[in-house]
Amino acid sequence: MGRDDLFEFSKELDQARTRFGLLELGRKDFSGFKLPGVDFKRINLWGSRWPQADLRGADLSNVPLDRADLRGACLRGASLRGASLRLANLSGADLTEADLRGADLSLAKMEKTKLEGARLPEFQLCPPKGKSFRAWKKVRDGFILELEIPEDAERTSSLVSRKCRASRVEVVSASTLSGVAVTRDEYESLHDSNFKYRVGCVSVPRSRPYNDDIRTPCASGIHFFVKREEAAAYFY
């Protein structure tokens, strides 16, 4: 798209917004389009497709982009402030120096997404290293473990999930979903039947070292939730 075409496209968007208020472009295919600097405010882009599109410096503030396909898209310097990106696919996208403050990235895919210099939404649920705290984890048979995250343990939350992880935890107690205390010799991980938790013992990642990548909720570490009700509601 040349400069004149880009100008006409932006002009048509402005006219449509003036006429209709909120413009509906959900599920449209913009694969490979070059639309740098375009103002997309007040446009519903739910489920739209943008693989390899050039959206450098675009204004997507408060735009619905749930389930959008943005794989490999260039969003360098774009404003996504307050945008809804639930279940969006941002794998391989370039968000260098983009503004993501207030954006909802719940369950988004962000494999190899570039975030250098990006302004991120508030996502960190864990207290900073140097402070211990209690957390919760669901294990097999529906039991809930109360954990102590030691003050010297590495810890992080994720941009896309409320699930957190740490490099080391200590199991304090175990209970049923309803909160009744239970006593067992060991408790089996939901995801690895060979990984066992024991009350009073320290647990560390078994096969791979702790990974602090904030783009994924499933990187290596001991996973947990900061609220018991979130652990109880967890399913996989």
Residues 138 and 111 in one domain: no
Mean pLDDT of all residues in the chain?
94
In a domain, 126, yes or no: no
Residues 107 and 137 in one domain: no
pTM of the model: 0.89
Rg (CA), the chain: 22
Domain that holds residue 150: 133-233
In a domain, 108, yes or no: yes
Burial of 190 (0-12, 13-18, 19+ CB in 10 A): middle
- Please, what is the Cα angle at 192 between 191 and 194, to 5 degrees? 160
In a domain, 157, yes or no: yes
Q: What pLDDT, in 10s, does the model give residues 4-37? A: 556 567 777 877 777 767 788 999 999 999 999 9
CATH of the domain at 96: 2.160.20.80
Indicate the number of domains in the chain: 2
* Domain end position, chosen among 72, 98, 121: 121
Q: What pLDDT, in 10s, does the model give residues 140-190? A: 999 999 999 999 999 999 999 999 999 999 999 999 999 999 999 999 999
Measure CA of the first residue to CA of the last residue in the chain; give whole Å.
44
Residues 51 and 97 in one domain: yes
